[in-house]
Amino acid sequence: MAEDSLACYRVKLLELGTKVEIMSAVQIRDWLTERRKPRTVLLLDAIRDYSARCSRDKTREAYEYALDKVRAFAGSSPLTFEEVDYKWLIAFERFMERNGIRTNSRSVVFRCLRAVFNDAIDNDITESYPFRKFRIKSEQKVKEHLSVEQFRILRDEDFGHDNDARDFFLLSFYAVGINPIDLYGLEGLPGGRIRYIRRKTSRFYDVGVQPEFADICEKMKGTDHLLNFADKYHNYDTFINFYRRKLRRVGEAICVPDITFYWARYSWATLAYEIGVPRDSISQALGHAFSGPAVTSAYIDYDFKKVDEANRRVLDYVR
């Protein structure tokens, strides 16, 4: 009998797999003797916990946004994973729609919620999964960009105290649409090149410095950083919130009131395509995967000269 029990325990240990490595002796004992207590984890707590584990600020903000919406719908009553079924998701979507939350924002909430469910299933918190039949809706976002005529007006007009916001936009454009946070954090131009790892994707970029970019850098030279923006403002969030308002005034002056700094990236890509820059060169410049299979692209030694040539063509076009 003892040998039979031992064999049974061994089978159960195999079921645990690698989880056994992080379990205490008491937890293993309870598992083997079936003295496990079912865990009742509330959904709001699980979303909060998942958010805290997110390393990126933007990702964490998305889960906090989802938490806020679920809390608004569920109220103060405890909500378990098992209570969230297909009908609950439909009612939740209608609730958000009635409250003016747009399709893509609802999509963010549901994708966060789905990730929390998958995580709970992986950790044996629940077996419930209401997303099998539920379709997460999304709508194609219209890409915002300036036409060549609008770009020339933005570049050449005098916007007074808001010229620095315009120049920050131009710097991004001249550097093939570098993201604002990456531009803000540049410390120098080693070898006459803009080299950085993009915060959003952790992808390495290497872009040649064009004369247009160098001219603005000279005008806005910083001490500890490449640009004086980082010297003037305590952190990036303070800087970008203030300069978004400044750029919005610039946009209103040229009848493009919705402009943001990300338009520099979209505008570069659109104008590059407009003048016949190959899609592969545009993808490489923006840091997207090569048009071939992903595994193959990992072994391609990209020639950054192609990006520089594409950038020069775009800058000559808008000149």
- Record the tokens describing residue 197, joined without a space: 């790892």
Q: What is the largest CA-CA distance in the chain?
A: 91
Query: Across the chain, how many H-helices and E-strands are there?
Result: 16, 2
Q: Is the whole model's pTM more than 0.85, yes or no?
A: no
Q: Please, what sign has the CA dihedral across residues 52, 57, 59, 63? A: positive
Query: Kind and range of the H or E element at 90?
Result: helix 86-98
Distance CA(7)–CA(75), nearest Å, equals 49
Can you list the domains of the chain with their CATH numbers? 25-139 (1.10.150), 148-318 (1.10.443.10)
User: Residue 179, Cα to own-chain centre: how many angstroms?
Assistant: 11
Q: Find, among 196, 195, 185, the residue nearest to 225 by Cα.
A: 185
- Which H/E stretch holds residue 208? strand 204-208
Proportion of the chain in helix, strand, coil states, percent, rounded to 5: 60, 5, 35
Q: Is 95 exposed, middle or buried (0-12, 13-18, 19+ CB in 10 A)?
A: middle
- Residue 312: predicted pLDDT: 96
Instruction: Enter the tokens of residue 130.
Output: 């209401």
Structure tokens at 167: 């120049």
Q: Are the C-beta atoms of residues 147 and 259 closer than 8 Å to each other?
A: no
- Stated as kind and residue range, the H or E segment containing 106 is helix 103-122
Per-residue pLDDT of the chain (319 residues; tens, 9 = 90+): 455 667 776 776 777 676 666 666 766 776 666 654 445 789 999 999 999 998 877 788 999 999 999 999 998 788 999 999 999 999 999 999 999 998 989 999 999 999 999 999 988 888 899 999 999 987 666 668 999 999 999 999 999 999 999 999 999 999 999 999 999 999 999 999 999 998 888 888 999 999 999 999 999 998 889 999 888 888 898 999 999 999 999 999 999 988 999 999 999 999 999 999 998 889 888 876 544 444 444 434 456 888 999 999 999 999 8
